[in-house]
Protein backbone atom coordinates (compact mmCIF):
# COMPACT_ATOMS: atom_id res chain seq x y z
CA UNK A 1 0.00 0.00 0.00
CA UNK A 2 1.29 3.46 -0.92
CA UNK A 3 1.71 6.01 1.87
CA UNK A 4 -0.59 8.95 0.96
CA UNK A 5 1.39 11.33 3.19
CA UNK A 6 4.35 11.37 0.76
CA UNK A 7 4.46 14.56 -1.33
CA UNK A 8 6.17 12.79 -4.25
CA UNK A 9 2.94 10.87 -5.00
CA UNK A 10 1.10 13.96 -6.17
CA UNK A 11 1.24 15.25 -9.74
CA UNK A 12 -0.90 18.40 -9.64
CA UNK A 13 -0.38 21.20 -7.13
CA UNK A 14 -1.96 24.46 -6.01
CA UNK A 15 -0.81 26.93 -3.38
CA UNK A 16 -3.18 28.07 -0.64
CA UNK A 17 -2.82 30.09 2.52
CA UNK A 18 -4.56 29.86 5.84
CA UNK A 19 -6.96 32.72 6.46
CA UNK A 20 -7.94 33.92 9.93
CA UNK A 21 -11.53 33.00 9.03
CA UNK A 22 -10.41 29.35 8.63
CA UNK A 23 -9.77 28.97 12.37
CA UNK A 24 -11.80 27.38 15.15
CA UNK A 25 -12.08 28.70 18.71
CA UNK A 26 -8.77 27.02 19.64
CA UNK A 27 -6.85 28.62 16.78
CA UNK A 28 -6.66 25.47 14.63
CA UNK A 29 -7.76 25.37 11.01
CA UNK A 30 -11.26 23.90 11.18
CA UNK A 31 -12.47 20.82 9.29
CA UNK A 32 -14.63 22.87 6.94
CA UNK A 33 -11.64 24.94 5.81
CA UNK A 34 -9.68 21.74 5.11
CA UNK A 35 -12.56 20.63 2.90
CA UNK A 36 -12.50 23.97 1.08
CA UNK A 37 -8.76 23.58 0.36
CA UNK A 38 -9.48 20.16 -1.15
CA UNK A 39 -12.42 21.56 -3.13
CA UNK A 40 -10.27 24.32 -4.61
CA UNK A 41 -7.74 21.67 -5.64
CA UNK A 42 -10.40 19.57 -7.40
CA UNK A 43 -11.85 22.59 -9.20
CA UNK A 44 -8.38 23.71 -10.31
CA UNK A 45 -7.48 20.22 -11.56
CA UNK A 46 -10.72 19.75 -13.49
CA UNK A 47 -10.44 23.26 -14.95
CA UNK A 48 -6.85 22.51 -16.03
CA UNK A 49 -8.22 19.40 -17.77
CA UNK A 50 -10.89 21.35 -19.68
CA UNK A 51 -13.82 21.26 -17.27
CA UNK A 52 -15.91 23.94 -15.59
CA UNK A 53 -16.31 25.81 -18.86
CA UNK A 54 -19.60 27.37 -19.91
CA UNK A 55 -19.71 25.61 -23.27
CA UNK A 56 -19.03 22.17 -21.84
CA UNK A 57 -22.04 19.79 -21.76
CA UNK A 58 -20.75 18.12 -18.58
CA UNK A 59 -19.72 19.10 -15.10
CA UNK A 60 -18.26 17.35 -12.07
CA UNK A 61 -19.90 16.71 -8.70
CA UNK A 62 -18.40 15.29 -5.54
CA UNK A 63 -20.06 11.97 -4.69
CA UNK A 64 -17.82 10.82 -1.84
CA UNK A 65 -15.13 12.39 0.32
CA UNK A 66 -13.07 10.68 3.00
CA UNK A 67 -10.60 12.89 4.86
CA UNK A 68 -8.00 11.71 7.34
CA UNK A 69 -6.60 14.49 9.50
CA UNK A 70 -2.90 13.95 10.24
CA UNK A 71 -1.69 17.13 11.97
CA UNK A 72 -3.01 20.43 13.22
CA UNK A 73 -2.61 23.54 11.12
CA UNK A 74 -2.50 27.07 12.47
CA UNK A 75 -2.55 30.66 11.23
CA UNK A 76 -0.55 32.00 9.50
CA UNK A 77 0.57 29.32 7.09
CA UNK A 78 1.26 28.82 3.42
CA UNK A 79 0.28 25.37 2.26
CA UNK A 80 0.45 23.22 -0.85
CA UNK A 81 -2.40 20.98 -1.90
CA UNK A 82 -1.59 18.09 -4.22
CA UNK A 83 -3.68 15.65 -6.24
CA UNK A 84 -3.18 12.47 -8.17
CA UNK A 85 -5.63 10.51 -10.26
CA UNK A 86 -6.09 7.12 -8.60
CA UNK A 87 -8.68 5.70 -11.03
CA UNK A 88 -10.78 6.74 -13.99
CA UNK A 89 -13.96 4.69 -14.28
CA UNK A 90 -16.87 4.84 -16.72
CA UNK A 91 -18.61 7.88 -15.19
CA UNK A 92 -16.37 8.74 -12.26
CA UNK A 93 -12.85 9.69 -11.26
CA UNK A 94 -11.18 8.83 -7.97
CA UNK A 95 -8.67 11.40 -6.76
CA UNK A 96 -6.13 11.13 -4.00
CA UNK A 97 -5.18 14.44 -2.43
CA UNK A 98 -3.13 15.81 0.43
CA UNK A 99 -2.40 19.10 2.16
CA UNK A 100 1.18 19.91 3.14
CA UNK A 101 2.80 22.62 5.20
CA UNK A 102 6.36 22.23 3.96
CA UNK A 103 6.80 18.44 3.87
CA UNK A 104 4.49 17.92 6.88
CA UNK A 105 1.23 16.27 5.85
CA UNK A 106 -1.81 17.94 7.38
CA UNK A 107 -4.61 15.85 5.83
CA UNK A 108 -5.26 13.33 3.06
CA UNK A 109 -8.43 12.82 1.06
CA UNK A 110 -9.93 10.26 -1.25
CA UNK A 111 -12.59 11.86 -3.44
CA UNK A 112 -14.97 10.24 -5.89
CA UNK A 113 -16.03 12.72 -8.54
CA UNK A 114 -18.88 11.93 -10.92
CA UNK A 115 -19.14 13.37 -14.41
CA UNK A 116 -22.67 14.70 -14.84
CA UNK A 117 -24.56 15.83 -17.94
CA UNK A 118 -25.60 19.46 -17.36
CA UNK A 119 -28.99 19.03 -19.04
CA UNK A 120 -30.15 15.72 -17.56
CA UNK A 121 -28.28 16.01 -14.24
CA UNK A 122 -27.41 12.32 -14.64
CA UNK A 123 -24.01 10.61 -14.71
CA UNK A 124 -22.42 10.50 -18.15
CA UNK A 125 -19.31 8.71 -19.44
CA UNK A 126 -15.99 10.44 -18.84
CA UNK A 127 -15.30 12.31 -22.12
CA UNK A 128 -12.26 11.08 -24.04
CA UNK A 129 -10.52 14.46 -23.90
CA UNK A 130 -10.99 14.62 -20.12
CA UNK A 131 -9.75 11.05 -19.76
CA UNK A 132 -6.64 11.94 -21.80
CA UNK A 133 -5.99 15.11 -19.78
CA UNK A 134 -6.35 13.26 -16.46
CA UNK A 135 -3.81 10.65 -17.57
CA UNK A 136 -1.07 13.26 -16.97
CA UNK A 137 -1.81 13.12 -13.24
CA UNK A 138 -1.84 9.38 -12.55
Q: What is each CA distance from 28 to 5, 50, 76, 81, in whole angstroms?
A: 20, 35, 10, 18
Banded pLDDT at 1 (limits 50, 70, 90)? low
- How many angstroms separate the Cα of 135 from the Cα of each of 12, 19, 49? 11, 33, 10
pTM, rounded to two decimals: 0.95
- Per-chain mean pLDDT for the chain: 96
Question: pLDDT tens for residues 60-76?
Answer: 999 999 999 999 999 99
The domains located in the chain, with CATH, are: 7-136 (3.10.129.10)
Give me the mean pLDDT over the 107-115 stretch: 98
Express each pLDDT in 121-134 by its tens digit.
Answer: 999 999 999 999 99
Amino acid sequence: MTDPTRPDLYRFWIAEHVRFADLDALGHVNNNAIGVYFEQLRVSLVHECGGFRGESPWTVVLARSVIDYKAELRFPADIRVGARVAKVGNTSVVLGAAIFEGDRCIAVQEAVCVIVDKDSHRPTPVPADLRDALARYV
